[in-house]
Structure 1
Amino acid sequence: MTDQSVPQARPSEASRTPSGGPGPHDSGDNDDRRGLSRRRLLGTAGATGLVLGAAGAAAGYAAAPSSAATPLTSLGSERALFHVKHQPGITTSLQARGHLVAFDLAAGAGRKEAAALLRRWSETARRLMAGEPAGSRDTDVARDAGPSSLTVTFGFGHSFFGRTGLEAQRPAALDPLPDFSSDHLDKSRSDGDLWVQIGADDALVAFHALRAIQQDAGSAARVRWQMNGFNRSPGATAHPMTARNLMGQVDGTRNPKPAEDDFDRRIFVPGQPGTNTPAWMANGSYVVVRRIRMLLDDWEQLSLKAQEDVIGRRKSDGAPLSGGTETSEMDLEKTDGSGSLVVPINAHARITRPDQNGGAAMVRRPFSYHDGFDADGVPDAGLLFICWQADPLRGFVPVQRKLDRGDALSQFIRHEASGLYAVPGGAAEGEYVGQRLLEG
């Protein structure tokens, strides 16, 4: 969890409406405008090109049987683009439903089989993101829905390169993450040759994509692990506001934003990579995925003041304890009448501030999760932490190391699974994701 918010969708990446450390706090979308009317959405599209109607792409599949029917909402018609500079699902606004799934290549499968699989996956993703059927084996699960801001994102794990004979093309930034003292990792739910992130604003649309991706794997790959997540539904609040996580905390205030001058440099691999980065990673990014369990029974026993001291922000509105509003700069030196720091020295928001970590920056796009209760009624719930950066050794790793040394939140969370993946740039028209690696 870090003191950072999910940015708006970039014009080059998505045509959807904007929404809205390692650990579950201070990283969501602070500009959720999905409650805007369809008329205003279309007006925005005309002015900026950010929003495109999906009626043409989904005709005959997602449209209602009666052309005279009045749509209940514009939510289903919002569409993200597949053929973009950076893969969708990185700067796309928070989505209501998410699925993460990792695959291992089957025994005997190599570079040829991997290329065929990525070709199938890319075509399926393109079709589904446009609101079209997946193909001849479509299950009809999402037949009545539009694209619903569906995104599908693909990445390669460290082990993928050995299995495909492409070790020379493995980026140095994909070296395994160091061990952290707070880790309690389940290896069976970590890593994997291939990683897929699916997000949408409709649960059936998201599941439909998950099932199609799993079916497309065929005999080339098998599921290693799979996780399900969720966020607040678009329009659930009376006005745009930052999302909350399962601890009830405002989650997302200081993420890097695409409008910032150095955003691309900190989050994406340059279009002309240097000598230490292979050319196939141009315009790509590296994603760290962590399943972070929240020990909610312990957390909920704390008083409101104790919770706020752990985080360093007010629970009601996300403002720093030093005063102001959610977006006010935190005064780390401010003291109270007794001379004690207003923001405790081990507060999560203090430790994760970029200016306290050598400028380390990540874009976080998490999902909450809940996988039921154990025999004692303890919830298995928390955060599917997902962060993006140009180099994990300059993004995730230094922040997590500092959290490891004294974050007040650490006693209320547990890192239970982990993965690091290289996510190449978006596929151009006529290409599939990863083609420059697999056919280069």
Structure 2
Amino acid sequence: MKAEALKQQAARPENPGRSDGGPGTTGSTALAGVSRRRLLGTAGAAGAAGLALGAAGGAAAHAAAAEAAPTALSTVGSGVVAFHGEHQAGITTAMQSSGHLVAFDLSPGAGRKAAAALMRRWSALAAELMAGRPASREDTGVALDAGPSSLTVTFGFGRTFFGRTGLTARRPAGLDPLPPFSADRLDPRRSDGDLWVQIGADDGLVAFHALRAIQKAAGDTARVRWQMNGFNRAPGATARPMTTRNLMGQIDGTNNPKPSEPDFDRRVFVPAGTEHGWLTGGSYAVVRRIRMLLDDWERLSTAKQEGVIGRRKSDGAPLTGGGESTPLALDELGPDGKPVVAANAHARISAPEQNGGAAMLRRPFSYHDGIGPDGTPDAGLLFICWQADPLRGFVPVQRKLDRGDALSPFLRHEASGLFVVPGGARQGEYVGQRLLES
């Protein structure tokens, strides 16, 4: 198993280079190969912080060498995630503090050839940005004084992408439409899309810089269908690494499958030997914008909130005792003869053992888009879950929740998308190449 959480490198990956003059071009500009911080003379000591700065010619290199002794990147800024690998980054990468989700539709007349050119541009651009280098000689400068900050850029294809590129015969069954659920109040304008991009970083400006660069590089080939912005707790905000909390104040993600578990890859990534070989090492992302009715939730006492979830709010431990990682004692009864973890408690209904072993890797962002006209916050969860097969991961669990989850009255599903995410690109490849050039 090769989870990319274990693939973060002490040195940045080599510049993959380009020959078409687009993002990532080497040799055509003095900026190529120079880190964003080096441009301001602040990354000369970055080797001590986990970055190796490649040689650069021309005036930029001379100016950088002539400046006063710079400071090293901080721990957060120096984080590098490899672009190339068996799986795309941003799936098992540690959760980042800032995120953007954006879906695109191909422009009229843009077919398979145009889509391949776009994915080639985007992949080269993502490799540069994730290594901490400028987007191009026309870089906006938004992130010049920051390191890579664990930036990841992840690409996926929606169901409609295959029809618009003449690849319907190669569309996997896992992209069959999700069934409707009773809590759905879906806005089609903020759902689905031909292409999907997930951007995450531990610095808000680095994440925005990547978003802007990706959007500009789409050019006339694709136009934005929808975009959503999210956040998580920043690295170092707690005394020790902890499972994140959502906007309801609950520890969220305790039951996630762990990369150390022997069946992790089987649950999260598409194995070799499946019907579509181009998908080997890939995954499926279900994306749901879930509004939390926080005013209603916050009227409940802590004890009632804990009863709805089935876990203590303070530390995420089951109401049956122990710590956060202690298994739920679903058969334990209270003095009243009723289950301590109620029959409709969220933790019970969503537990893998209650769903035939169905599991998914949840990797969400919180969001807050202001206060609505009625005075209530437009806030909640940008729910993202990863699985080898959504019909065996997300769908059975959501069906179970839909039939009687105590948390459902406090949630509203407002947007939805399902995307197939190809495996990672090898050196010299772009994401999706094995599909688009087969």
Interval of TM-score (by shorter of Structure 1 and Structure 2): 0.7 to 0.9
Q: Which runs of 4+ in 1 moved over 6 A?
A: 58-61
When residues 64 and 223 of structure 1 are mapped into structure 2, their CA distance, relative to the original with a 3 A threshold, is: farther
- TM-score, reference length from structure 1: 0.87
The one-letter code sitting in structure 1 at the alignment partner of 2:106 is: L
Which residue matches 1:430? Answer: 428
Report the Cα distance in structure 2 between the residues aligned to 1:198 and 1:314, rounded to whole angstroms. Answer: 32
The one-letter code sitting in structure 2 at the alignment partner of 1:73 is: S
Stretches of structure 2 that go unaligned for 5 or more consecutive residues are: 12-47
- Give secondary structure in 2 for the equivalent of 1:79: coil
Task: Determine if contact 1:58/1:130 at 8 Å carries over to the other structure.
Answer: no
Task: Determine if contact 2:49/2:73 at 8 Å carries over to the other structure.
Answer: no
Name the count of aligned residue pairs: 396
Q: Render the CA deviation track for 1:30-71: whole Å, top value 9, x for unaligned.
A: xxxxxxxxxxxxxxxxxxxxx98224269879x999553333
- TM-score, reference length from structure 2: 0.87
When residues 340 and 280 of structure 1 are mapped into structure 2, their CA distance, relative to the original with a 3 A threshold, is: same
When residues 177 and 52 of structure 1 are mapped into structure 2, their CA distance, relative to the original with a 3 A threshold, is: farther
Report the Cα distance in structure 2 between the residues aligned to 1:162 and 1:9, rounded to whole angstroms. Answer: 31
Stretches of structure 1 that go unaligned for 5 or more consecutive residues are: 1-6, 18-50
The one-letter code sitting in structure 1 at the alignment partner of 2:194 is: D
The 5 Å alignment of 1:6-85 reads 9-11=4-6, 13-15=7-9, 53-56=50-53, 68-71=69-72, 73-85=74-86
Task: Determine if contact 2:4/2:89 at 8 Å carries over to the other structure.
Answer: no
Report the Cα distance in structure 2 between the residues aligned to 1:167 and 1:303, rounded to whole angstroms. Answer: 52
Task: Determine if contact 1:332/1:341 at 8 Å carries over to the other structure.
Answer: yes
Q: Render the CA deviation track for 1:60-119: whole Å, top value 9, x for unaligned.
A: 79x999553333622111100001100000000000000000000000100010000000
Deviates more, 1:101-110 or 1:253-262: 253-262
Report the Cα distance in structure 1 between the residues aligned to 2:339 and 2:72, rounded to whole angstroms. Answer: 53
- Give secondary structure in 2 for the equivalent of 1:408: coil
2:326 is equivalent to residue 328 of structure 1: yes
When residues 64 and 268 of structure 1 are mapped into structure 2, their CA distance, relative to the original with a 3 A threshold, is: farther
- Give secondary structure in 2 for the equivalent of 1:196: strand
Task: Determine if contact 2:4/2:87 at 8 Å carries over to the other structure.
Answer: no
Report the Cα distance in structure 1 between the residues aligned to 2:273 and 2:304, rounded to whole angstroms. Answer: 46
Which residue matches 2:100? Answer: 99
Percent identity among equivalent residues?
Answer: 70
Work out which structure has the larger RCO, using CA pairs closer than 8 Å and 6 or more positions apart in sequence: 1
Which residue matches 1:25? Answer: none
Q: Render the CA deviation track for 1:105-143: whole Å, top value 9, x for unaligned.
A: 000100010000000000000000000011122111001
The one-letter code sitting in structure 2 at the alignment partner of 1:109 is: A
- Give secondary structure in 1 for the equivalent of 2:113: helix
- Give secondary structure in 2 for the equivalent of 1:403: helix
- Give secondary structure in 2 for the equivalent of 1:15: coil
The 5 Å alignment of 1:291-440 reads 291-440=289-438
Report the Cα distance in structure 1 between the residues aligned to 2:376 and 2:65, rounded to whole angstroms. Answer: 43
Report the Cα distance in structure 2 between the residues aligned to 1:72 and 1:310, rounded to whole angstroms. Answer: 44
Task: Determine if contact 2:97/2:233 at 8 Å carries over to the other structure.
Answer: yes
* CA drift at 1:335: 1.4
Question: Max radius of gyration: which structure?
Answer: 2
Q: Render the CA deviation track for 1:280-300: whole Å, top value 9, x for unaligned.
A: 101100010000000000000
* CA drift at 1:8: 8.0
